[in-house]
Amino acid sequence: MKKLLLSAAILFGSLGAFAQGGLGYGLRAGVNIPKYSLSNESTQSNTGFFVTGYLDAPVSPYFSIQPGLSLQNKGGKWTPGSASEIKESVMSLDIPVNLVAKLPTGDSGNFFIGAGPYVGFGLSGKRKGELGEGNVKIERDLNFGSNENDDLKRTDFGINFLAGYQLTNGFQINAGYGLGLTNLAPGSGDMAKNRIWSVGIGFGL
């Protein structure tokens, strides 16, 4: 965890020195709709949230590098039987680094579109559900690790995609997609990767 935060601080400092035309800042927040991509299928979508603070380091009039720190609510939902449902909720601290293109629309603002990698670190997680028409209830914390008896691997890596529109006063609407590339399932032969749609609002300076 300390190494993750130290790496983020070094990255932000380096980009601040590198930025041309002034360093900007911003905040985005909204709703996550996450699920897991499994070996031969996908879980159902859950509902969560995200909060992201980012720097905007211009490298040209139309392109910026945007590193950030993002609190992400991930997970998924599945039904092992017709009267059963299990939900998994994971809080993750992500470090995204996106290359963002800005497309001005006159004096009103600009469209933006971007993509880049992220690394995530699982902070906590919980599994809740009911089996057999509520006869058996499940509620426990998730175990992070790489052993067979763990639930999820702690570290995730993937690619972000984002798009939106920002007004000249800084207000923005945005949407995104997170494509997890890490197999989070500790068990051999299993697979579980994050898939996350998001929509939100924000403000950039």
Q: What is the pLDDT of residues 40-61, one digit of tens each?
A: 888 899 999 999 999 999 999 8
Q: Are 94 and 70 in contact (CB under 8 A)?
A: yes
Name the DSSP letter for residue 85.
Answer: E
Across the range 5-11, mean pLDDT stands at 51
Q: In Å, how far from its chain's centre is CA 187?
A: 24
**8 pLDDT above the threshold of 60:** no
Give, in degrees to the nearest 5, the angle at Cα 167 between 48 and 53: 40
Candidates 58, 69, 70, 79; CA nearest to 15 is 58
What architecture is domain 21-77+90-121+151-204? Beta Barrel (2.40)
CB 32 within 8 A of CB 176: no
What residues does each domain of the chain span?
A: 21-77+90-121+151-204
Tokens of 198: 């998001």
> Is residue 20 pLDDT above 50, yes or no?
no
**Can you give the pLDDT at residue 13?**
53
Question: Tens of pLDDT along 115-165?
Answer: 999 999 999 999 998 876 657 788 999 999 999 889 999 999 999 999 999
Tell me how far apart the alpha carbons of residues 131 and 85 are, in angstroms, rounded to a whole number. Answer: 7
pLDDT given at position 7: 52
Please state, in angstroms and rounded to a whole number, the distance separating the CA atoms of residues 30 and 48. Answer: 9
User: What is the tens place of the pLDDT at every residue in 64-110?
Assistant: 999 999 999 999 998 876 668 889 999 999 999 999 999 999 899 99
Q: Give the pLDDT score at 133.
A: 63
pLDDT in tens, 170-192: 999 999 999 999 999 997 788 99
* Res 39 pLDDT > 60: yes
In angstroms, the CA 76 to CA 95 distance is: 21
